[in-house]
């Protein structure tokens, strides 16, 4: 059969599986295996930072106090146990700027409230407050695990991590049985069917023996918590405990081409960002960096969000390392000469709901790393909107390095929208554009990515960091 005649003028998306050799497929699978291992260990931003910092130190990244201002030096900054910034010093003067990838480690989830433990009708339960944009009805009747830290009365901290091991108990949020939910839920709109205050975990059912104690089941649970973690109820006030799906990252499909996992947004970008730095071979021309932040899902506020001074202060510390005057004109030069990829995931066409997309402009699963000129909503509001010049630069880097990429937008005009960290990077006077992996079922407890897209994103980030 004759090939369809192709115009040399027309743009077409290319499958990221096209012309993959056996060795190419092996590389994709190998990277996917590493990623699944990371995902199974790292369900929270704290766990990500701990895991990646440990790995980076093994690979020669050191604190700035031990670093020398020499090309190839590998330096690590950590902030609040929730941000990690990895730097490799380049051959060029730091005043020539950085090539860096900014990406987030936090994912939508439920957080325990400051006073979470209650007893209702002889069941011990824990109250939560959701974090980020979730569809609440997706979080019921799932196995859930708890991860975080409790700072006890004496000031000592203890980690909590329960629900991932094969013999660990898990927790769950009960939904009402269909037999009785016709009125109380059935007459509501879908997104209001499960209310935030009802996202309450079941955590125990055995009453204690003490006759005088009112909440006997709650007391049993507190006794167990005291035994396991040496904590009392008041300690919850100084705790951060995140409730996440106790689900393992798995291959999806007969062809095993996809990965299902909790937290692809944004670990499907922050992991490739991390790997593109630590796997970087040789000495880069410009100083390169991966900036892994927290709090993106709730607006990037706070001391561990990208709006904090962590990045700026870390760059100032690099200036100090070179014996330069900190801040001022020197810092301005660095920022003005820097280039950033905001490594965040993008939405892809869901074949069952194509009506929300402009199919000419929407990204598709399996068609490479997404370049998103703008995000935002309602007339691009809140978008940093990368310039034609910067889009041209990034597109050329990707084309020169045979990266499979595709343009993307988040849905039809006025359908909805969203944002990333890009606008806060742009605020510093740094050119930035969103580039990342396409995700199906974004913000759900079990999101889906394509392995070949994940690998293309890693390759795309590497090519960007290499650019002089």
Q: Which residue has the tokens 């369809």?
A: 4
Residue number of the CB closest to Mn ion reads 266
CB atoms within 10 A of CB 118: 16
CA distance between the termini of the chain: 45
Q: Which CB atom, from 131 or from 229, has the smaller least distance to Mn ion?
A: 131
Residue-wise DSSP of 254-286? TT--EEEETTHHHHHHHHHHHHHHHT--S--SS
372 touching Mn ion, by CB under 5 A: no
Piece in contact with Mn ion (CB under 5 A), picked from 31-39, 185-193, 257-265, 355-363 = 257-265
Closest approach of Cβ 103 to Mn ion, in Å? 8
266 touching Mn ion, by CB under 5 A: yes
CA 70/CA 60 separation, integer angstroms: 14
| The residue count for the chain | 468
Of 246, 131, 108, 125, nearest to 174 (Cα)? 125
Q: Which CB atom, from 124 or from 383, has the smaller least distance to Mn ion?
A: 383
The 324-363 contact track toward Mn ion, x by CB under 5 A, reads: --------------------x-------------------
453 touching Mn ion, by CB under 5 A: no
Q: Which CB atom, from 17 or from 35, has the smaller least distance to Mn ion?
A: 35
**How, if at all, do strands 447-450 and 258-261 pair?**
antiparallel
Closest approach of Cβ 443 to Mn ion, in Å? 6
294 touching Mn ion, by CB under 5 A: no
Q: Which CB atom, from 368 or from 417, has the smaller least distance to Mn ion?
A: 417
Q: Which CB atom, from 116 or from 272, has the smaller least distance to Mn ion?
A: 272
Number of chain positions touching Mn ion (CB under 5 A): 3
What residues contact residue 260 under an 8 Å CB cut-off, 6+ apart? 247, 249, 250, 251, 252, 446, 447, 448
Closest approach of Cβ 249 to Mn ion, in Å? 17
Peptide bond into 266 cis (omega under 30): yes
265 touching Mn ion, by CB under 5 A: yes
Closest approach of Cβ 70 to Mn ion, in Å? 35
Q: Which CB atom, from 266 or from 453, has the smaller least distance to Mn ion?
A: 266
Q: Which CB atom, from 47 or from 126, has the smaller least distance to Mn ion?
A: 47
Closest approach of Cβ 209 to Mn ion, in Å? 47
The number of helices, as runs of H, and strands, as runs of E, in the chain is 9, 22
Q: Which residues pair with 341 in a beta bridge?
A: 101, 433
Residues found near Mn ion in the complex (CB under 5 A): 265-266, 344
């Amino acid at each position: 059969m004759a090939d369809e005649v192709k115009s040399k003028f027309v743009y077409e998306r290319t499958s990221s599986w096209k012309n993959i050799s056996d060795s190419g497929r092996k590389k994709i699978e190998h990277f996917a295996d590493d990623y699944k291992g990371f995902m199974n260990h790292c369900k929270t931003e704290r766990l990500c930072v701990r895991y990646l910092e440990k790995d980076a130190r093994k690979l020669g990244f050191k604190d700035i106090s031990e670093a020398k201002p020499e090309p190839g030096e590998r330096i690590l900054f950590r902030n609040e146990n929730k941000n990690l910034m990895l730097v490799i010093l380049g051959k060029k003067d730091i005043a020539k700027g950085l090539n860096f990838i900014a990406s987030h480690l936090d994912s939508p989830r439920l957080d325990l409230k400051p006073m979470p433990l209650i007893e209702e009708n002889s069941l011990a339960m824990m109250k939560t407050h959701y974090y980020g944009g979730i569809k609440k009805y997706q979080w019921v009747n799932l196995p859930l695990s708890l991860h975080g830290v409790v700072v006890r009365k004496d000031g000592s901290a203890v980690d909590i991590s329960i629900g991932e091991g094969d013999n660990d108990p898990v927790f769950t949020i009960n939904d009402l049985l269909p037999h009785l939910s016709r009125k109380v839920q059935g007459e509501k709109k879908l997104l209001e069917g499960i209310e935030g205050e009802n996202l309450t975990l079941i955590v125990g059912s055995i009453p204690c023996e003490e006759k005088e104690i009112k909440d006997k089941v709650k007391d049993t649970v507190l006794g167990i918590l005291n035994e396991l973690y040496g904590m009392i109820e008041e300690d919850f006030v100084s705790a951060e405990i995140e409730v996440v799906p106790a689900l393992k990252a798995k291959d999806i499909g007969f062809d095993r081409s996809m990965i299902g996992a909790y937290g692809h947004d944004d670990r499907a970008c922050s992991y490739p960002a991390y790997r593109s730095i630590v796997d970087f071979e040789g000495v880069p021309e410009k100083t390169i960096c991966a900036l892994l932040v927290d709090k993106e899902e709730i607006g990037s506020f706070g001391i561990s969000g990208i709006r904090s001074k962590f990045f700026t202060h870390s760059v100032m510390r690099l200036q100090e390392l070179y014996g330069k005057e900190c801040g001022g004109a020197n810092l301005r030069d660095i920022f003005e000469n820097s280039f950033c990829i905001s490594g965040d995931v993008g939405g892809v066409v869901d074949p069952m709901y194509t009506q929300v997309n402009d199919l000419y402009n929407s990204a598709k699963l399996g068609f490479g790393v997404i370049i998103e000129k703008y995000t935002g909503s309602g007339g691009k509001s809140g978008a940093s909107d990368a310039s034609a010049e910067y889009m041209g630069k990034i597109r050329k880097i990707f084309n020169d390095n045979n990266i499979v990429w595709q343009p993307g937008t988040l849905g039809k005009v006025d359908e909805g929208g969203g944002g990333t960290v890009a606008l806060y990077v742009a605020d510093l006077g740094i050119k930035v554009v969103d580039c990342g992996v396409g995700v199906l079922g974004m913000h759900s407890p079990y999101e889906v990515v394509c392995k070949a897209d994940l690998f293309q994103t890693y390759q795309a980030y590497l090519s960007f960091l290499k650019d002089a």
